[in-house]
A and B are shown apart, each in its own frame.
Chain A
Amino acid sequence: DGGITQSPKYLFRKEGQNVTLSCEQNLNHDAMYWYRQDPGQGLRLIYYSQIVNDFQKGDIAEGYSVSREKKESFPLTVTSAQKNPTAFYLCASSDSYLGEQYFGPGTRLTVT
């Protein structure tokens, strides 16, 4: 399945709690991405990283944070500042400037 994994598949949290979503890839890809997908919607870019120890905000970065300490890992933290965090979160990676993106299976986060 492309060598990119996300865990857990389903995640439930109470409002006001921070939560961290895991994304790992063994494809030796330089670039990694986080997207949010709401029902019937497209993929909106949260953060992306082109290289270790570097990352850039996407279109909807407010209320989220990331780190890229290792090439293989790009965890996403959904903070309590995110107004509407319930969504399907997809992680992706690519190997070069013009490379295909491989997506993970996604994490469905529900915050009540």
Chain B
Amino acid sequence: GENVEQHPSTLSVQEGDSAVIKCTYSDSASNYFPWYKQELGKRPQLIIDIRSNVGEKKDQRIAVTLNKTAKHFSLHITETQPEDSAVYFCAARGGVGGFKTIFGAGTRLFVKA
């Protein structure tokens, strides 16, 4: 079945450094790739998304890149701040499953002040 792999599972960076999280997906028909941030005890919230007809998207300190040929996409956070500490999930949606959305296992990001 469809699968999304996410790496690393844990990432620790110094405040001000960049953080990169990578995901690969198996369903080549997937066409929507959101990233969610989940703080402890809270619900996941969308931080950025990208559609299959775009290779890169940026929103202030956050950017996402998509390589459809290789079936992987990445989240880039620049100038990290302690409040960026959270669990980040990638997901892939669409394709044969239509609305079906498969999530990665998550990356726990620690930003040290």
Question: Is the C-beta of B63 less than 8 angstroms from some C-beta in chain A?
Answer: no
A45 touching B106 by the CB < 8 A rule?
no
Contacts A98-B94, A100-B49, A101-B34; A45 near B101 (Cβ below 8 A): yes
Q: Which among B32, B94, B100, B106 has the highest number of chain A CB atoms within 10 Å?
A: B100
Alpha-carbon gap, A44 to B4, bound state (A): 11
Interface stretch, picked from A10-18, A19-27, A67-75, A102-110, is A102-110
Q: Please, which residues of chain A bring their CB within 8 A of the CB of B43?
A: 90, 103-106
Contacts A97-B94, A103-B44, A104-B43; A42 near B100 (Cβ below 8 A): no
A42 touching B105 by the CB < 8 A rule?
yes
Contacts A41-B106, A103-B44, A106-B43; A97 near B98 (Cβ below 8 A): yes
Alpha-carbon gap, A45 to B101, bound state (A): 8
* Interface flags, A78-112, vs B, CB<8A=1, else 0: 00000000000010001001101101111000000
Chain B residue at minimal CB-CB distance from A105: B43
Which of A33, A56, A59, A100 is B1 in contact with, Cβ under 8 Å? Answer: A59
Q: Please, which residues of chain B bring their CB within 8 A of the CB of A50?
A: 98-99
A98 touching B102 by the CB < 8 A rule?
no
Smallest beta-carbon distance B101→chain A, Å: 7
Smallest beta-carbon distance B35→chain A, Å: 11
Q: Please, which residues of chain B bring their CB within 8 A of the CB of A103?
A: 43-45
* Interface flags, A46-70, vs B, CB<8A=1, else 0: 0010100000101100000000000
Binding site for B on A (CB under 8 A): 31, 33, 35, 40-45, 48, 50, 56, 58-59, 90, 94, 97-98, 100-101, 103-106
Beyond the given A42-B89, A42-B106, A97-B98, could you list 7 further A-B residue pairs with CB under 8 A, ordered by the A residue number? A42-B103, A42-B105, A50-B98, A90-B44, A97-B99, A98-B32, A100-B34
